[in-house]
Amino acid sequence: MSVLPILDVGLAFLVVGLAAWTVAARNLFASVVGYVAYGLLLALVWIRLYAPDVALTEAAVGGGVTGVLLITAGKRLGALEKDEAGATPALALKIVAGALALFVAGALAWVVVTLPDPAPTLAPAAAAAADGPGAGLGNPITAVLISYRSFDTMLEKVVLILAVIGVWSVGADSAWGAAPAPLGRPQPAGAMVLLAQILAPIGALIGVHIFWVGADAPGGAFQGGALLAAMWMAAMMARLTEPPRIDARWLRLALVAGPAVFLVIGFAGLGLAGDFFAFPPAFAKPLILFIETFMVLSIAVALPLLVAGPPNGRSAR
C-alpha cells in the first residue's frame, strides 16, 4: 500500500469522525466548532477527488463564510441553551432514528459501491464542446456553468437574492432600511485588525485572480466572489468598515447585477445567436467574462449580507 491510500483512509476517518462529533457533542458550541473544522477538511477530500473547483468553493464557503455564520450564531445561542437542556430525546426515538439512519446509510453505501462500470459520463461531450458554444474556455466546469447549464447558474443567483431578502425580512419593521449590526466586537483585537489590514487587500487580489483565470484554470466567478466576500467580512470583523444600509441604491444594484446582466445577455442571445442564452461563437468568451464579472460582484455582496443578518436599530431616513 503506498502512502496516498493510507492518507486517504486517514482523511476519510477524520472527516467522518468530525461529523460524528458534530452530531454527538453535548454542547451546542462544541458541535458548531466541530462542524466548521469538518467543513475545512472537506476541501481536502475534494482535492483527492480531482475537483479543485469544488475544493476552492468548499474552502471559501463551506469552511470560511459558513464558519463565521455558524460560530456567531453558536455564541449568541450558547447562553440560551442551558434553559432547554431538559429536553433529552426518549430512548425509543433514539432507536428508531438510529435504525432509520443505519438503513439509509447502508442502502446508499451499497448503491454507491455498485455503481455501473464503465460509468456513464458526459466528459467526452463536454470536452468535444470546447470547440462549440463554450469556445475558448479551457475550464470545462466554467463552460458547463455558464453555457450548458446557464439556467441553473442564473436561477441559483436569484436563490441567493431571495435568501438575502428573506434574511432582511425577519428584522423589525422600524429597522427597515437601516444597516445590519456590526460584525465584530466594539474593540476588535489588535491582531485581528492587523491581519485584516494585510490580508484583505491580498485576498481581494487573489479573489480577482481566481475569477480571471477561472475561464481556463480551476476557479471562476463563484470562487473568486466568495473570496472577495470573505475579505470584506474580515474587514468588517476588524471594524475597518461597517455593513452598509440595506436601502442603499448601490447595494441593491450590486445584488441584482449578476443575474440581471446574465438575463439581459441571455435574452439578447435570441437576436444575436438565434436562441435564448446562446452566445454568438465569435464573442462567446468576452461575453462570458462580462457576465461573470457582474456575477462576482453580486456574490461578493450577497454572501457578507447573508452573514450580517437583518437590519438593526432604527431606520433614520
Partner 1 sequence: MTPPVLAGLAGAALVGFGLYGLILHPHPLRKLLAFNLIGSGVFLVFGIVARRGAAAGLPFDPVPQAMVITGIVVAFAASALAVALILRLAAVSGKVTLDPEAWAKTPSTRPDGGGGQ
Partner 2 sequence: MTPLIATTAGGPLLVLAILLPAAGVLLSLALGGRAAEKVALGLTPLGFALAWLIAMQVAAAGAPLVYAIGGLPPPLGIALRADGISAVMLLVTAIIVAAAGFYARAKFATPDGTAESRSALTFWIMLQAIWAALNLIFVGGDLFNLYVALELLTFAAVPLVCIDGRPETLAAALRYLLFALFGSICYLLGVALLYGAYGTLDISLLSQRVQPEAIVWTAAALMTAGLLAKTALFPLHLWLPPAHANAPAAASAVLSGLVVKGSFFLALRLWFYVLPALPSAAPGAVLGALGSAAAVVGSVLALRQARLKLLVAYSTVAQIGYLFLVFPLGLGAHAWSALGWGGGLMQILAHAFAKAAMFFSAGLLAEALGHDQIAGLRGAARALPLTFLTLGLGGLSLMGLPPSGGFEAKWLMLRTSAASGQWIWSLPILAGGLLAAGYVYRILAPALAEGEIELRARPQRARELIALALAMTALVLGFAPQGFFDFIEIGRPLAAMSAP
Q: Footprint of partner 1 on residues 63-82 (CB under 8 A)?
A: 65-66, 69-70, 73-74, 76-77, 80-81
**Cα→Cα distances 154→139, 159, 251, 254, 261, Å:** 19, 9, 19, 15, 10
Cα–Cα separations (whole angstroms), residue 163 to 89, 132, 156: 32, 35, 11
By C-beta, is 205 or 270 nearer to partner 2? 270
Q: Are 63 and 226 in contact (CB under 8 A)?
A: no
- Cα-atom radius of gyration of the chain, to the nearest Å? 22
Which of 52, 136, 177, 218 touches partner 2 (CB under 8 A)? 177
- 12 residue type, one letter: A
| Nearer residue to partner 1 within complex by CB, 258 or 269 | 258
| Residue number, 3 or 83, with CB nearest to partner 2 | 83
Task: Judge whether 269 and 276 are in contact, CB under 8 Å.
Answer: yes
Nearer to partner 2 among residue 79 and residue 115 (C-beta): 115
If one asks whether residue 296 binds partner 1 (CB under 8 A), the answer comes out as: no
The binder of partner 2 chosen from 137, 255, 300, 305 (CB under 8 A): 255
Asked if 3 is part of the footprint of partner 1 (rule: CB under 8 A), the reply reads: no
For 291, phi then psi, to 5°, come to -60, -45
> Grid coordinates in use for 227?
473570496
In this chain, which of 133, 167, 255, 291 binds partner 1, going by CB under 8 A?
Answer: 167
- Tell whether residue 170 is a contact of partner 2 (CB under 8 A): yes
Residue number, 30 or 126, with CB nearest to partner 2: 126
Nearest by Cα to 237 from 196, 179, 199, 178: 196
State yes or no: residue 161 binds partner 2 (CB under 8 A). yes
Q: Write each residue from 29 to 68 as x if it is in contact with partner 1 (CB under 8 A), else as -, in one continuous string.
A: --xx--x--xx--x--xx-xxxx-xx--xx--xx--xx--
Q: Smaller CB distance to partner 2: residue 44 or 260? A: 260
Q: Which of 188, 210, 222, 298 binds partner 1 (CB under 8 A)?
A: 222
The rounded distance, in Å, linking the Cα atoms of 35 and 40 is: 9
φ, ψ dihedrals at 80, nearest 5°: -75, -30
CA 126 to chain centre: 24
What does residue 35 show for φ and ψ, rounded to 5 degrees? -65, -40
List binders of partner 1 among 229-268 (CB under 8 A).
none
Question: Per CB under 8 A, which of residues 134..153 are in contact with partner 2?
Answer: 144, 147-152
User: Does 98 interact with partner 1 (rule: CB under 8 A)?
Assistant: yes
Work out how close the CB of 103 gets to partner 1 at its nearest, in angstroms, rounded to a whole number: 9
Which one, of 116, 238, 109, 243, lies nearest residue 182 by Cα? 243
Coil, strand or helix: which one is 109?
A: helix
Calpha distance 228→232 (Å, rounded): 6
d(CA 316, CA 189) in angstroms, rounded, equals 30
Q: Does residue 317 bind partner 2 (CB under 8 A)?
A: yes
Output the smallest distance, CB 183 to partner 1, in A: 13
Q: Smallest distance from the beta carbon of 197 to partner 1, in angstroms?
A: 27
Residues in touch with partner 2 (CB under 8 A): 107-108, 110-112, 114-116, 119-122, 125-126, 129, 133, 144, 147-152, 155-156, 158-159, 161-163, 165-166, 168-173, 176-177, 247, 252-253, 255-256, 259-260, 263, 266-267, 269-270, 273-279, 317
